[in-house]
Amino acid sequence: MLNSASALVILALGAVMVAIFLHLGKQNAKNARLPPGPKPHWLNGTPIPAKAPWRYFYDQSLKYGPLVTFWIGRDPAIVCNDVETATFFMEKNGRDTADRPKVMEVFSNGKRTLLVGYNERWRRLRKGLHNPLQPNAARDLRPMQEKGAREVILDILDTPLDFQSHIQTYAATLVVHMAYGRQDRARYSDPDIQKVITASERIAVFLKPGSFRIQQFPWLRHVPGYLSQFRKWADEELNLFRKQFFEVKVKVDAKKRVEPCFATYLMAHQQEYQLNDDDVAYLLGSVFAAGSDTTSSALNICVMAAAINPEAQKRVQAELDSTVGSDHVPTFDDLDDLPVLKAFISETFRWRPVSAGGFQHRTTSELIYKDYVVPAGTIITGNHWGIHRDESYYGPNVEDFDIDRWLTPDGQTKSNMKFFQYGFGRRVCPGQHVANNSVLMNAALLLWSFDIGKTIGPDGKPIDIDTYAFTNTANIHPLPFKATFTPRSQHLAELIKESHA
């Protein structure tokens, strides 16, 4: 016979099991009107592939429809895979989807603006980012962008095999000038830049769904010692960003000459925006990390697209030759009305979006879409890979690179189409105007200067470029690939150097 202690244990276990089944029953009733999706594991949720989850999300949308439910542990996560659903949730209802999952705040100790929840603090941080990155302010960076783009051409002429590194150097130089007022050329091998890259890689891995157990089981944050690695990373990141900011602050406090930059702007408005020194340091560091990361990736994707699409490349070059001429190095003044070039860039953004899987948002109100109910507190994401393959919006053959999808029959830019490279609603990237200018100037100059193509193998045949070979991070980068750069003018170096003087 059972003793009284054993009986109590059995009764307690029975009560726990009943509570679990009742909870699961309530969950099932609550989730009955969620969008469809693959069947999850009862505890771990949906087994999401570690590699290229954005492609998996899109593939599932072909089976279940554009709005798909996945599970992170016992919590639903909704993924939008077409323009209609992304626009409905992220823009039309942007106020109700501007929040972030609470678990994100364990990374960077909640200091990165990208990860901060939708609250008063986020609005203050966002205001600090927003004003100095508006279109008029972005125009002030154009001379620096022209100078940097010409340096890329000279670097490629010197060492064409290192083109990816040259593009990364351009992006790093621009953002350290913009953020900290530095006038020297930033080398990608600089130790501080490498530390920023490491921090960006960590966060890029963390942002992938299910990459850390704490995403599936948020209660792990209360387990002693579990967050020690995150806190170590956060301390390293904060010390790095403090160091970079205080180098400027010391000069300003000593009344020394400092080039006008984002740092001097934030210091002048620090009280107005209610920012402490660590807030400013993180805003500057985040601008540097995000700006160099996305710009270099977008430009290397442009090179990839040109190398495998010679006909599209020739059309852009014909437009540049007729508008700019072959003896005049392009400047921003020449690039206002170049619909074919802009179609090429837009198609690059659509074909291989840098932020392939998008970033997780969190609903703060219940939202109803058609027959589906998305409860408050649900993770929701716009999957850029899937959205940019919406045939109802972008037309057929979405895996093909086709610049005509952006052009009217008479060759003008379609006014009713856009890409979603920079996110949605209240969370849209505030640096998009600077980034667009960088991509426009560099793409124009690269295609004006060179015929870009595939390398030729020992058998005399072109070596294919794997256009699906990217880093497995939130912002994707092409893995190293080879391309050829044939100068379109015998006097290219002289033309660039003369305009560069």
The residues, ordered by sequence, that sit 6+ positions from 84 with a Cβ below 8 Å of its Cβ are 66, 390, 392, 393
Cα dist from 450 to 295, 306, 483, 493, whole Å = 20, 10, 11, 11
Question: How many angstroms separate the CA atoms of 248 and 419, rounded?
Answer: 37
CB 310 within 8 A of CB 447: no
Question: How many angstroms separate the CA atoms of 338 and 120, rounded?
Answer: 41
| Helix H or strand E encompassing 125 | helix 120-130
* Chain centroid to CA 44: 27
Question: How many angstroms separate the CA atoms of 417 and 129, rounded?
Answer: 27
Cα dist from 80 to 17, 53, 268, 358, whole Å = 35, 13, 41, 10
Q: Hey, what's the torsion of the CAs at 76, 82, 83, 84, to 10 degrees?
A: -70
CB 115 within 8 A of CB 361: no
3 state SS of 450:
strand
The residues, ordered by sequence, that sit 6+ positions from 376 with a Cβ below 8 Å of its Cβ are 363, 364, 365, 366
Rg (CA), the chain: 25
Half-sphere exposure of 155 (CA within 13 A, CB side): 20
Question: How many angstroms separate the CA atoms of 42 and 462, rounded?
Answer: 49
Question: How many angstroms separate the CA atoms of 270 and 200, rounded?
Answer: 26
| Helix H or strand E encompassing 305 | helix 277-308
Question: Is 429 annotated in some ligand binding site?
Answer: yes
Sign of CA dihedral 292, 297, 302, 307: positive
DSSP-assigned states of every residue in 414-448: PTT----TT--GGGS-TTHHHHHHHHHHHHHHHHH
**Tokens 């932020």 sit at which residue?**
355
**Tokens 């093909």 sit at which residue?**
400
**Tokens 């010390």 sit at which residue?**
239
CA-wise closest residue to 170 among 154, 189, 149, 196: 149
| Helix H or strand E encompassing 451 | strand 450-453
CB 177 within 8 A of CB 288: no
Sign of CA dihedral 206, 208, 211, 217: positive
The crossing angle, in degrees rounded to 10, of helices 163-180 and 228-253 is 60
Instruction: Please give the annotated binding residues for heme, written as ranges.
Output: 429
Which residues make up each annotated binding site? 429
